[in-house]
Amino acid sequence: MSKISQVTRAAGSITIAVFLSRILGLIREQVLAYFFGAGRSMDAFVVAYRIPNLLRDLFAEGALGAAFTKVFSASLVKHPKEKSFQIASILISNILVVLLVVVLVLALFSPQIVSLIAPDFEKEPDKFWLTVNLTRIMMPFLLFISLSAVVAGMLNSLKVFFLPALSSAVFNLVCIVIGVSGYYLAREKGTPPIYAMGVGVLLGGAAQLAFQLPALFKKGFKFKFKVNFRLPEMKEIARLVFPVIFGLSVVQINIFINTFFATSCGEGAVSWYSYAFRIMYVPLGLFGVGLSQALLPELTKQITEGNFSQAKELYARCLVVSLSLSLPSAIGLYAFSEEVVKVLFERGAFGVRDTYFTSQLLKILSFSLPFYAFSKTTVPLFYSVSRTIIPALGSVLAVITNLAVILLTIKLLSIKAVALGTSVSLLVQAVFLLLVATYFLGSPFNKYTAKSVFFLILAGLFLYGAVFLSKEIFASPLMRLILGIPFAGGVYLVFLRLFAPSDTYLFFKRFFPFL
């Protein structure tokens, strides 16, 4: 089996698990929309959850998770598995100490952090302190989810992909169960019901970590608490992490900027943006997370062994696979934005007005999908060659772009300016990363990849035509989604299978072997 087939197969396994997680994530958002709509409690929850979730990107899926995976994968190449496990145990002990300190400090200074992120909330003391209390409840989530990312990285390096990806589904399931049951209990006790969702996030993070541990122990890993910050591998993680911490800190500044401007656009704006981004997060997670997690260990192995030509080919073909997934997702979300929001959220406290504004933001955000996918596929390359400063510089460029777009359009577009800034900044970041990647490995766009991209664009045009036709035929939003999406997707795949190179439909063969 070729390297691209191995990575694509692993990405397919991850995608199945991530799909379950994203569906449960949407159900969680439906629960929030039904019970809380886009009002005071939901705005408070969105801001409060954003604080540990932003740091989750920093300590978990971002810097720490990727750096740990890179170091552990390289250790498995150089040392016996037992020695690598001993090193990993010390590294986890070090990380645990650091995370405990971070969580305690952030919980203590939660009022100051909320004031910084959402200064307009201070005008409503009840809303402000609700946000602070929710922040403190959910802050330990950072500890659990960061350790979960480390464990997932170890399992990925050991060629276990499905179970770590499935763990996020466990998180969402626990959030839903605790949130719904706690909602009614809180109402009986006279407590704001939104607190139940905060407790659900906390317990969901603990469940996500616990779910993965048996698989790691089965591989022979034994944890023994032993701190040693002088370990060479710890220094290597620090060397990789600090540039990424800088870059992701810039990303967090970007999100703080978005939150700051969104809170100034009136009540409900923060929630509309959050709901739209949550919908877009489904395809982002499906192809972005899957390819990125599967690609990093394999690229690290190839680079460590000096197989640069194979690494370049693998990277180039992964870009094609990434575009084959992100392009139809972007077209589908843009064309079906109102139908998706209406079917998912328009009930209970979530009204027609909420549907309109959320769908308008979703249309703008959908343009960023292919560029986000390109970035997610390119970042593992820089980790594998220990050039983590490059993604950091890309993040700086993205923040400058985002802020410039918002400042230029906020008076004219209001909350839409925030979505536009996000999309344009992701475009600029993707172009930057691709250009620098070309410097390290040479241009990935040979005749084969150029041909693949050309046919993917043609297939996307046919897909859009099929979507337009389905919207003309079916009046019901639900029927448009149930019948229109499979019809348009079928047109897209048939075109690729008949005319395009095999990499353009390679990922889909994992689920449709007859292609």
Total-model pTM: 0.67
Least trusted range by pLDDT, from 211-215, 297-301, 468-472: 297-301
Q: Tally DSSP H helices, then E strands, for the chain.
A: 22, 0
Give the relative orientation of helices 308-335 and 3-36 as an angle to the nearest 10 degrees.
30
Long-range interactions of 271-274: CB distance < 8 A, separation 24+: 271/37, 271/38, 271/39, 271/42, 271/43, 271/46, 271/354, 272/38, 272/354, 272/357, 272/358, 272/361, 272/415, 273/361, 273/415, 273/418, 273/419, 274/46
Q: 3-class DSSP state for residue 349?
A: coil
Alpha-helical regions (H) of 367-414: 369-384, 389-413
% residues pLDDT > 90 (the chain): 30
Distance CA(310)–CA(416), nearest Å, equals 43
pLDDT of 416: 93
**Average confidence (pLDDT) over 191-217:** 92
Q: Are 291 and 377 in contact (CB under 8 A)?
A: yes
**Average confidence (pLDDT) over 489-500:** 92
Listed residue (143, 145, 165) closest to 209, CA to CA: 145
pLDDT, one tens digit per residue, over 152-201 is 888 988 888 888 888 888 999 998 999 889 888 888 888 888 999 999 99
Distance CA(28)–CA(37), nearest Å, equals 13
- How many residues would you count in the chain? 515
Q: Are 4 and 503 in contact (CB under 8 A)?
A: yes
pLDDT, one tens digit per residue, over 105-121 is 989 999 998 888 888 88
- Mean per-residue pLDDT of the chain: 83
Phi and psi based region of residue 250 (left: phi greater than 0; alpha: psi -120 to 50; beta: remaining) = alpha
**Average confidence (pLDDT) over 57-77:** 72
**Average confidence (pLDDT) over 7-24:** 69
Q: Are 502 and 508 in contact (CB under 8 A)?
A: no
**Average confidence (pLDDT) over 304-318:** 73
Owner of token pair 């596929």? 377
Task: Report the C-alpha dihedral over residues 470, 476, 481, 484, rounded to 10 degrees.
Answer: -20
